Amino acid sequence: MNFELSSEQKEIKDLAFKFAKNEMLPHAAHYDEKGELPFDILKKAWELGLVNTCIPVEFGGTGFSTLDSILITESLSYGCLGMNTAIMANDLALLPIVIGGNDEQKKRFLTPFTESYKMAAFCLTEPGNGSDAAGIKTTIKDEGDHYLVNGQKMWITNAGFADLFTVYGTYDSGLKHKGISAIVIEKDTPGIEIGKPEKKMGHSCSDTRSVTFKNVKVPKENLLGKLGDGWKIAMKTLDHSRPMVAASAVGGAQCSFDYAAKYSTERNQFGKPLSGHQGIQFMLAEMAMNIEAARLLVYKSAWLLDQGQKNTQLASSAKAFSADIFMKVATDAVQIYGGYGYSREYPVEKLMRDAKLIQIYEGTSQIQRLVIAKEVISTL
């Protein structure tokens, strides 16, 4: 048993953290206020190798382990959850290709992402189907020499700027999840309609829209695996992506804590710093222990995957626990700041808004508990 990161992992984490602190954090409030994607910052992150960490070495990527990747996600999220969402959405869209694509598809779709900064969008959720992903309505119909895609997707990150869309649909809705298939659609394909940017509570600098596919003809060679492989691909993607999202919660929680802890030593009330009051001490202790527990859970869920072991239960545990404690930590951080915390002049208000989304996307905290329960009960 060894809790020490390798020296290389420490360097990766340090680099990402330095980038987050120097390049992201100072601009986070500005882009949050404007609701604009910070392309310069995202491109700079890409130049340093901090984006698309899931791409294997053979296709021009860094070939990082899941643990390496989540160390980056944790650090970048310390800088800005919204910017991290824009970065992480790429992995989410590219992972199905890494997991379910053949070599020709990997070369064709992944390599361009290592040559210049591009965005990708993962399209699963629909207006009528969020948590109940198996009930999706988008259809992928075999038309002989191509597939015809029809349907509408909701809350699609990066949609307005994406070069490719990884889309889930069903070729036969009667088959439920067994009918689900995954297909890659390039942005210039006729029939794609991109909606207006959504106005969100947090993660404001990330781009979120609806995407509608109207009789979109997609080449046959863009289907990942075969018809009906989609569900399996999606589930495997989640095993990778849930630890990532969980790591972003740890980074955000750490940032909230650092602000609150520092503030508590600077602000005096009743003749002594806030940190000298037991009530505040209890809050700080609670925050610190929850963050560390979440971090260990997240690292283990990633490590399991890297060991080739099944991590479904821990990935969901990490995702639910981290998201929930981030919400709690960020709320307490605002509480410690008091009136200032509620003001946009101070950074914790944004963190609290950003935290909420982590309990919702990539499977709500409730869905994670259902997954955990199913895994637990199946072993009885």
Least distance to another protein from the beta carbon of 62, Å? 6
The count of residues in the chain is 380
Q: Does 115 bind another protein (CB under 8 A)?
A: no
Regarding 176 and contact with another protein (CB under 8 A), the answer is no
Residue closer to another protein by CB (options 188, 266) is 266
CA distance 138 to 358: 25
# residues near another protein by CB under 8 A: 16
11 is a contact residue toward another protein (CB under 8 A): yes
Pairing verdict, β 180-186 and 162-170:
antiparallel
- Is 8 a binding residue for another protein by CB under 8 A? The answer is yes
CB 237 within 8 A of CB 103: no
12 binds another protein (CB under 8 A): yes
Question: What is the closest distance, in whole angstroms, from the C-beta atom of residue 246 to another protein in the complex?
Answer: 21
CA geometry: angle 91, 238, 308, nearest 5 deg = 95
266 touches another protein (CB under 8 A): yes
Burial class (CB in 10 A: 0-12, 13-18, 19+), 128: exposed
Of the ranges 10-18, 105-113, 212-220, 296-304, which one interacts with another protein (CB under 8 A)?
10-18
Nearest-approach distance from CB 18 to another protein, in angstroms = 7
Measured between alpha carbons, how far is residue 67 from residues 8, 42, 109, 301, 366 in Å?
12, 21, 24, 9, 25
Query: Is the CB of 19 or the CB of 31 nearer to another protein?
Result: 19
Q: Restricting to residues 50-89, name those near another protein by CB under 8 A.
A: 50, 62
Which of 49/160 has CB closer to another protein? Answer: 49
The stretch near another protein (CB under 8 A) out of 195-203, 226-234, 262-270, 365-373 is 262-270
Residue selected from 215, 268, 343, 366 as contacting another protein according to rule CB under 8 A: 268
Give the integer Cα–Cα distance in Å for 121 and 32: 21
Nearest to 69 by CA among 95, 43, 103, 47: 95
Nearer CB in complex with another protein: 264/311: 264
User: Residue holding tokens 């999706």?
Assistant: 136
The answer to the question of residue 276 lying near another protein (CB under 8 A) is no
Distance (Å, whole) CA 351 – CA 327: 9
Report whether 164 contacts 109 (CB < 8 A): yes
- Choose between 187 and 267: whose C-beta lies nearer to another protein: 267
Q: Select 7 or 378, whichever has its Cβ closest to another protein.
A: 7
Stretch that binds another protein, among 3-11, 127-135, 142-150, 247-255 (CB under 8 A): 3-11
Measured from the CB of residue 119, what is the shortest distance to another protein in angstroms? 19
Rounded (10°) CA dihedral 15, 21, 22, 26: 160
CB of 49 to another protein, least distance (A): 3
> Is residue 247 at the binding interface for another protein, with CB under 8 A as the rule?
no
- Looking at the Cβ atoms of 12 and 287, the one nearer to another protein is 12
> Are 317 and 241 contacting, i.e. CB atoms less than 8 angstroms apart?
no
Q: Select from 5-13, 119-127, 196-204, 296-304 the region that touches another protein (CB under 8 A).
A: 5-13
| Residues 13-52 as x/- pattern, contact with another protein by CB under 8 A | -xx--xx---------------------------xxxx--
Q: Which residues are catalytic?
A: 362
Residues of this chain that interact with another protein (CB under 8 A) are 7-8, 11-12, 14-15, 18-19, 47-50, 62, 266-268
